[in-house]
Chains A and B, each alone.
Chain A
């Protein structure tokens, strides 16, 4: 109920909520739908609209970003152990002095091959392939550009550092976006109840994450007789059902038209 006080104070009875895909696209500058999402951001800033997010959107956003960070960390941690055992047969005194050599590439390749084989989904396999390509690229760069032998521990530390910098950069971008969109504290902290979820399902939405976001919005707006615009790039599951969802006072729009929809409801 944290939004009630501000809602009573505010003469505006419409809220605008971005979907997770809009937030990630803007934070990472992902090329797909970037133009539309940037238009949404600029429209929001120009019109000085305070954007709201549901706790469910925040949760999924964090989960996905942390998932990527954990994946890279897990792969690098495993790689470290693997290299330690393979290159120095677990002898600590050798590990400290071990340097990178061209033949280590086969060890790296072997490690990733086993990891990819063990992954249980195509998505997981592709993610490991992306990390593998990055590690091998950095390995080649290190061997090519170094004037002196590169210590194995330094190379691994360097990979951790690069990954962490990318994560930090992402977090900083999100913090800036948070400021730009004037996003307040998440609303609808509790998971939506089954009755709210059913209403969204009846409107034609089937993806559990989308149902959570939309049901959370519904639970937030209805007691206060408000309306909501949900900005999303999910055409298949959400935009396709915008007519039915609008009967619940949730107006789903692409980022391109979201602020227009908001203004038309004022």
Chain B
């Protein structure tokens, strides 16, 4: 469970670090220094985690006994532990953050982003199975039970395929750069633009996913550390439906935005064809449901 939880939150932090320059918050850094968790070699990473956690916690009402600072420190602790166990990732993050001007470095960075994504997809898949079972045991109102399961499943489904498409395009840009040095600047500019734009949308999605989960977890746990682990049972009676629904709405909207961005913004030539056979009776049922609405 510890590994699962640190990866879960780590995904957000690491993906952010690979793709964008996070702002540094001096107050967060000083808090980490005072806590004894500070590691000089990882100061930027730790500060970024602290900043991201602070952002993720914005607008989330905290239960009595859990403070924002305690949550930030718990996040820094679990993410630092996770990162120290992955030196390859640390190298990739540092290279992408501090500049890597050759194509091979770019390729490795992309490869790492891709691996992160695969890992995230795997975790999502495990998470949805777990959540499906937990929700069956919980008192979650059926009105939003199905939506949550569908949304998580939806995330797990398209994240894999759509990211593959994005990854292929990024790889192609790097190959273009390698093949023709005259195109160095446009290709790099394109790479940066594609990377930042899509990764920003993806990070945004990750943020709202984290917010939704953090809210549910926070109100079903007794300590800040435990809030980063998935609860074994969820009491939805402890949650405010309006808060839950608002976070869920934001998550779903960003899910759709990200999906649209990836599907619409990439030319077909980069996307290839998606090999997936849809179950025919299910498709027929969908048609039956929609047909009368066309005539309405």
Contact = CB atoms under 8 A, between A and B. Distances in A.
Contacts of A74: 142-143, 146
Contact of B279 (A84, A131, A133, A165): A165
A126 interface: yes
Contact of B145 (A77, A138, A162): A77
B293 interface: yes
Contacts of B296: 209
Given A160-B146, A164-B153, A30 B294 contact: yes
A143 interface: no
Contacts of B289: 68, 71-72, 127, 130-131
Given A77-B142, A153-B133, A166-B282, A68 B276 contact: no
Contacts of B294: 20-21, 24-25, 30, 32, 64, 233
A222 to B, nearest CB: 28
Contacts of A167: 150, 154, 286
A229 B158 CA distance: 35
A67 B276 contact: no
B147 A157 contact: no
Interface in B122-160: 129, 132-133, 136-137, 142-143, 145-147, 149-150, 153-154, 157-158
Interface in B272-296: 274, 276, 278-279, 281-296
A175 to B, nearest CB: 4
Contacts of B158: 168
Contacts of B260: 175
Interface residues of A, number: 56
Given A67-B293, A71-B289, A153-B133, A172 B282 contact: no
Nearest to B289: A68
B264 interface: yes
For A32, A123, A168, the residue with the greatest tally of chain B CB atoms inside 10 Å of its CB is: A168
For A32, A164, A179, the residue with the greatest tally of chain B CB atoms inside 10 Å of its CB is: A164
A8 B282 CA distance: 46
A84 B276 contact: no
B268 interface: yes
A89 interface: no
Contacts of A76: 146
Given A73-B147, A167-B154, 14 more contacts: A24-B290, A32-B291, A74-B146, A95-B136, A95-B137, A96-B133, A127-B292, A131-B289, A165-B276, A165-B282, A166-B278, A166-B286, A168-B158, A176-B268
Interface of B: 129, 132-133, 136-137, 142-143, 145-147, 149-150, 153-154, 157-158, 259-260, 263-264, 268, 274, 276, 278-279, 281-296
25 contacts: A20-B294, A24-B294, A28-B286, A28-B287, A28-B290, A30-B294, A67-B293, A68-B290, A73-B147, A76-B146, A77-B142, A77-B143, A77-B145, A77-B147, A80-B146, A95-B137, A130-B285, A160-B146, A162-B279, A163-B150, A166-B285, A166-B286, A176-B268, A178-B264, A179-B268
Closest 5 CB pairs of A and B: A77-B146, A73-B146, A175-B263, A134-B285, A130-B288
Interface of A: 20-21, 24-25, 28, 30, 32, 64-65, 67-74, 76-78, 80-81, 84, 92, 95-96, 123, 126-127, 130-131, 133-134, 137-138, 153, 157, 160-172, 175-176, 178-179, 209, 233
